[in-house]
Structure 1
Amino acid sequence: MLLGHDDGFVRDKDMKVTVAFNRFGPNCIQRMPRIRHGYAHVVNNFYDGWRDYAMGGSMNPTIKSQGNLYVAVGNKEVIWKEDGPGRGTSWNLKSVNDAFINGASFRQVGSAGVSPHYKPDEAFAAGNPDQVHALTRDAGALRCHANGC
């Protein structure tokens, strides 16, 4: 899940995305999601291992991870940052009420005051990590066959 056109597309600074109620893994590699510029609220997702990273980005994104369940299998670090010349140095990465299993870890950086940018009629209450299995029970790839999905 790649969010943002490319590193040079500065209009994506206004991007606001919510990634909610997904099951990622097993056997996912990266980009769950990867954010260029902008803001992402990643809430109540189930991460069942990742090879390179679960979430990452470039160009100073703001990411609020909230109420997610991270189960590390190999790599333990949830976040990947593409640093370097022109890639950004003003990151805002915040974990709120996430659960980390098997040594999973989240390296928080930047502003402590990262909040969703929802209008009042768009806001919703995030579930706790212990509710994630129920919230994502029907999420994931469709199991299709010759007669349909």
Structure 2
Amino acid sequence: MVRSSPSHFGWRGVADGDAVSIFGSSNVWIDHNSLSNCADGLVDVVMASTAVTISNNYLTHHNKVMLFGHSDSYTADKDMQVTVAYNHFGEGLTQRLPHCRQGYCHVVNNDYSHGWGIYAIGGGANPTINSQGNRFVADPNRYPYSNEVTKRTSGGESEWKNWNWRSEGDLFFNGAYFVPSGATGADSAAYAKASSYSGAKTSSMVGAITSAAGALTCPKGHMCH
């Protein structure tokens, strides 16, 4: 039996196979994990969760990595705000790095060092995505068309061309490229809710920033490092 609010508790059935599942929650920090090979997603943030930070994680060998938003039709997720920072997206990843629905996503200073199978950053139902200071390294040997960072999974171009997606200070290698849309400019007010902090580092520092990503080593009786 799991309490879901001050006035309600109920039976929690079998999990759907996510490594980390955030459901109807706020002010959550997911930090310094090493995640791979789960039955469903590595990190799912759904059902109007917000104020979530996913940082310093090392992610490998998985298909659907991060999903933010319950569905394209669940409008309560329009206020969702998620920060993805200082993570190392490693080998064997396919898509949803992350995938954002409706809300606001700040993707900042992450290292996409081994490419992706289908896309890196995707979304549906008009999310706002602010990509800052990341390093994107496409792997041309995995799939013939996997050098595009972005993918819109709902609506035609006439619709998504107005979605606010921008790349600011990102580095691109091996033909990787980001397709922006909507508002542009570093100071655009459209990205206020997708700008969780103003201290984004230059993308040339991403390797050093993410070098300690993943689970910490914590010897008994000593500080973790």
Query: Normalising by the residue count of structure 1, what TM-score does the alignment of the two structures yield?
Result: 0.85
Out of 125, 134, 137, the position equivalent to 2:208 is: 134
Partner of 2:137: 71
Partner of 1:117: 193
Aligned residues: 139
One-letter code aligned to 2:127: P
Output one character per residue of 1:90-120: Cα deviation in whole Å (capped at 9) or x when no partner. 411100000001110000111112434379x
One-letter code aligned to 1:58: G
User: Once the two structures are aligned, what percentage of the paired residues are identical?
Assistant: 45
Query: Normalising by the residue count of structure 2, what TM-score does the alignment of the two structures yield?
Result: 0.57
| Unmatched tracts of structure 1, length 5 or more | 145-149
SS in 2 for 1:11: helix
One-letter code aligned to 2:177: S
| Bigger Rg over Cα | 2
Output one character per residue of 1:107-148: Cα deviation in whole Å (capped at 9) or x when no partner. 0111112434379xx6341011110011101114x499xxxx
1:118–1:105 CA distance, 2 compared to 1 (3 A): closer
Structure with greater strand percent: 2
Partner of 1:147: none
Partner of 1:98: 170
Name the CA distance, whole Å, in 2 between partners of 1:138 and 1:8.
Answer: 38
One-letter code aligned to 1:135: I
| Unmatched tracts of structure 2, length 5 or more | 1-65, 141-145, 218-225
One-letter code aligned to 1:33: P
Over aligned residue pairs, what C-alpha RMSD do you find?
Answer: 2.1
Name the CA distance, whole Å, in 2 between partners of 1:82 and 1:58.
Answer: 5
Contact kept? 1:41, 1:116, Cα under 8 Å: no
Partner of 1:57: 123
Contact kept? 2:72, 2:124, Cα under 8 Å: yes
Contact kept? 1:25, 1:50, Cα under 8 Å: no
Shift of 1:79: 0.1
Contact kept? 2:128, 2:194, Cα under 8 Å: no
1:102–1:125 CA distance, 2 compared to 1 (3 A): same
